[in-house]
Amino acid sequence: MRASYALLTGVAMIAFACPAFAQEGSLSASPTPSGNGTANPLAQPGDQQGSNTSTSDSGALEDIVVTAQKREQNLQDVPVAVTAITADTLVNRNVATVSDLPRLAPSLTVTTGALPTNNSINLRGIGTVAFSTAIEPSVAVIVDDVALLQQAQAFSGLSDVARIEVLRGPQGTLFGKNASAGALNIVSQGPTADFTGAVTGTATTDDEYRIDAVISGPLAEGVGFRLNGFYGDRDGFIRNTFDGRRLNNDKSYGVRGRLTLDPVSGVTIDLIGGHSVTEARGTARTFRSVPAGAAVYGTPVAQRLGSIRPGRDNFETTIDGPLFNKSIQSNGSGRVTVDLGSANLVSVTSYQDWRFRFAEDFDYLSGPVLGLANGVIAQSGFHSRQFAQELRVASKGGGPFSYVFGLYYSDGKTDRTFDRGPSGPVVARWNSSNGTKSYASFAQVTYDLAPTTHVDAGIRANREDINVRFVNTNVPATAPANNATCLVACTGTASDSVVTGKIAIRQDLAERVMAYASFSTGYKGQGYDISTGFTPMRAATPVRPETSNAYELGLKSRFLENRVQLNVAAFWTDFSDFQAQSGVQLPDQTIQIMLNNVGKVRTRGIEAEFQARPTEGLMIDGGISFTDAKIRSFPNAQCTVGQTASQGCVVAPGATIGFQDLSGKNLSNAPRWKFNIGSTYDIPLERMPFDAFVQGDVTYQSSVNFSLLNDPYTIERGYAVANGSIGIDQKDRGGLRVALFVNNIFNTHFASALQGASGGTEGLVAQILSRNARRYGGIRARLSF
């Protein structure tokens, strides 16, 4: 920690001493205010290309151009609830990963698992937590027009991003079958017209050191390039008292190149290739509560904890086994755009390859467990790859009729190995392979019924073929009585076809004021529940598709001479055959935890986002959401540990685990209230070679239960987090920008997930704490040219 403070002091002294020197020979333009209501402390000139269009220097808000409907449109003209987060805002608010986005977007939460493969991105209370590699998310993640095969790929960090569009509500018409609750559309920066570059250094009090570099510009007539790379190393913030290891660290590096060519008039080719590596000493859990007599697999917990004190502020654990994970990702895509005159023909070809492996101390205790000297160890490896091709024709607008027509094909495969042991009652060893092929055609048209009345309608036809092969490498000597496991191998194939659609009516009420009403249907494909205990029954009957019907009313407006923007959306969405992990009773009366269609859920509420620029130097933005996400029908849910008959648990004769009716209960990790507000104030310093700025923001969310089964012990109360920064910005083109920042100013502790400990007893709760769950400060300096 002492080294961190020394480095921060040194960099700060250099930064404040150098502004006059840096202004000579600068070639870049001054950063412009963000369309999300903030000025970028470290903005790269040219970074706004294709993202924002500045209106003037009069103090009016900028227009933001988004691709939420597969073609460039002004955000205020799109009949979709969209949060557009620009490059300025990402840097200004210290957003480094997808897990940080809930601070900026209403109705967005992230459920954090012990592994990235168990994370879930949730919109309006809807997400998917599943152990199977064959189950799709409810929220699609699209990077540069390419949908990621596994949602876990999105948690490898953000670098050189132009903007992120958070699209709420079903987006399957244009973005495919795994967007039943919404989509994250991530757009990277493109080449700049002039030669530019920047180097950014970050150092923090919790021992993070990171450097980002980018260079961009023309190579020749009709040829532009952009190359960015990053390296980051952050020490862990969870201390392992057993051996002194600092867990939950992060070490990552990567590079991405982009080449844009105009080989002939009317043809543009955009080639993107990237490679990144992220590794960590796991995502360690700590104990939130340890009641008297609590045990894990029969091993008393309290006597193993030593000096550790369970609680909300417990950043210590004690394990004697491994804790490690590593992600390696390579992506490549080629986009060809042909100008057809009134429309563009766009072809997007992509290939992605993702490898992930982990090892963890499964019992989370030091010392013998189940008679094993180092307890139970779990380790696993994943390999996913996908080829995809999309071809679409998009009109350029300019008339009463505009359109997008397209075809889509993808072929993805994921292999996984799993080994948990080395012996004992929880041992499991297997490997699996699953594949998915999708074929789709889609269309969306816009027609102006009158100068102020517009209709948007879309349709998508999708067919999917899936397959699975599961091999049990820990074959029991004799078959179970109910043939519950695959003794050697299980295979299965299935297919499904569906048509989804959307219709919206927009009415211009005044200049820059538009109201809309929409109805859309969503679909998340069927899939195999590939996990320990995979059975012939699972191979023969995949989990049914999840479907949704969504209604939305919205208002998008700007007023007071274009200085204030207010967007409001009211929504109501019903989901059928909701996919979730739960207990299922087998014919022999035993219970097996598996993914299944638990029933019906409903999410409804209202969201509002605003931006304001009351003076030229002051920007304010924020959002608020109220979400009522409930289970409508789930009559045979597994009881929680310790739940009694008076609390609704019914145990059938001969059964060891009971069932409860969760109809009417709240969905997990779906806060009823969320809000965020932030502002940036630029301070002119007339006699200095630089100006100053001050930024601050606050986020709040109400209490949530992290358990779908409504476990009373896994409730996290509501909390608020405040962040702030100050800095200087060189006045002339390019040069130096320095920000000193503090995250979680008041050191508010909160959990990203709560769960009953594996093999534990009633009231024994483990928690996952994020880096943002405690205070840290830092300095970020960017030198651009």
* 353 C-beta neighbours (distance < 10 Å), count: 15
Task: Give me the mean pLDDT over the 462-476 stretch.
Answer: 88
* 654 C-beta neighbours (distance < 10 Å), count: 7
Confidence (pTM): 0.87
Q: Above 70 in pLDDT, residue 49?
A: no
Q: Which of 93-97, 376-380, 709-713, 743-747 is least confident?
A: 93-97
How many whole angstroms separate alpha carbon 698 and alpha carbon 676? 6
- Per DSSP, the chain holds a count of helices (H) and strands (E) of 6, 44
Would you state the pLDDT for residue 33?
Answer: 32
Q: 116's torsion region: left (phi>0), alpha (psi -120 to 50) or beta?
A: alpha
Q: Which of 154-168, 201-215, 285-299, 483-497 is least confident?
A: 483-497
Q: Which of 24-28, 366-370, 385-389, 432-436 is least confident?
A: 24-28
**Structural domains of the chain, with CATH:** 2-784 (2.40.170.20)
Task: Give me the mean pLDDT over the 93-102 stretch.
Answer: 87
HEC readout, 577-596: EEEEEEEEECCCCCEEEEEE
Q: Above 90 in pLDDT, residue 57?
A: no
DSSP assignment of 325-363 equals EEEEEEEEEEEEEEE-SSEEEEEEEEEEEEEEEEEEETT
Instruction: Work out the pLDDT band at 485, boundaries 50, 70, 90.
Output: low
The H or E element containing residue 537 is helix 536-540
3-state secondary structure of 116: helix
How many whole angstroms separate alpha carbon 121 and alpha carbon 596? 19
Of residues 51 and 564, more confidently modeled: 564
Burial track 408-420 (b if 16+ CB lie within 10 A, e otherwise): bebebbbbbbbbb
Residues across the chain: 785
Would you state the pLDDT for residue 757?
Answer: 61
Cα–Cα distances in angstroms (integers) from residue 518 to residues 350, 395, 455, in the given order: 32, 22, 10
Tens digit of pLDDT for each residue in 306-355?
A: 899 999 999 999 999 899 999 999 999 999 999 999 999 999 999 999 99
Q: Which of 4-8, 189-193, 225-229 is least confident?
A: 4-8
Would you state the pLDDT for residue 176?
Answer: 80
Helical H runs in 60-137?
A: 87-92
Q: Above 90 in pLDDT, residue 37?
A: no
The H or E element containing residue 551 is strand 546-559
Q: Is the dihedral of CA 299, 300, 304, 305 positive or negative?
A: positive
Would you state the pLDDT for residue 75?
Answer: 86
Q: Which residues contact 303 (CB under 8 A, 6 or more apart)?
A: none
Q: Above 60 in pLDDT, residue 53?
A: no
Look-up: residue for tokens 């001050």?
694
Task: Give me the mean pLDDT over the 762-769 stretch.
Answer: 91
Judge whether 672 and 628 are in contact, CB under 8 Å: yes
Judge whether 539 and 531 are in contact, CB under 8 Å: no
Instruction: Work out the pLDDT band at 32, boundaries 50, 70, 90.
Output: very low
Q: Is the dihedral of CA 680, 682, 683, 688 positive or negative?
A: positive
Mean confidence (pLDDT) of the chain: 85
Tens digit of pLDDT for each residue in 380-432?
A: 999 999 999 999 999 987 789 999 999 999 999 999 999 988 776 778 889 99
Judge whether 544 and 597 are in contact, CB under 8 Å: yes
3-state secondary structure of 395: strand
How many whole angstroms separate alpha carbon 254 and alpha carbon 539? 38
Would you state the pLDDT for residue 760?
Answer: 62
Burial track 61-86 (b if 16+ CB lie within 10 A, e otherwise): bbbbbbbbbbbebebbbbbbbbbbbb
Q: Above 80 in pLDDT, residue 542?
A: yes
Strands (E) across 703-750 are located at 704-705, 715-716, 719-730, 735-743
Would you state the pLDDT for residue 747?
Answer: 97
Q: Above 50 in pLDDT, residue 35?
A: no
Tens digit of pLDDT for each residue in 637-668?
A: 888 888 888 888 888 777 767 888 889 999 99
Would you state the pLDDT for residue 671?
Answer: 95
Instruction: Work out the pLDDT band at 51, boundaries 50, 70, 90.
Output: very low
Would you state the pLDDT for residue 596?
Answer: 75
Residue 550: Cβ-neighbour burial (10 angstroms; 0-12, 13-18, 19+) = buried
Q: Above 70 in pLDDT, residue 50?
A: no
Q: Above 50 in pLDDT, residue 54?
A: no
Instruction: Work out the pLDDT band at 214, boundaries 50, 70, 90.
Output: very high
The C-alpha angle 571, 573, 578, rounded to 5 degrees, equals 150
Backbone φ and ψ for 416, nearest 5 degrees, come out as -145, 140
Q: Above 70 in pLDDT, residue 7?
A: no
How many whole angstroms separate alpha carbon 761 and alpha carbon 289? 11
Would you state the pLDDT for residue 586?
Answer: 52
Tens digit of pLDDT for each residue in 552-595?
A: 999 999 999 899 999 999 999 999 988 877 655 555 444 556 67
How many whole angstroms separate alpha carbon 159 and alpha carbon 140? 19
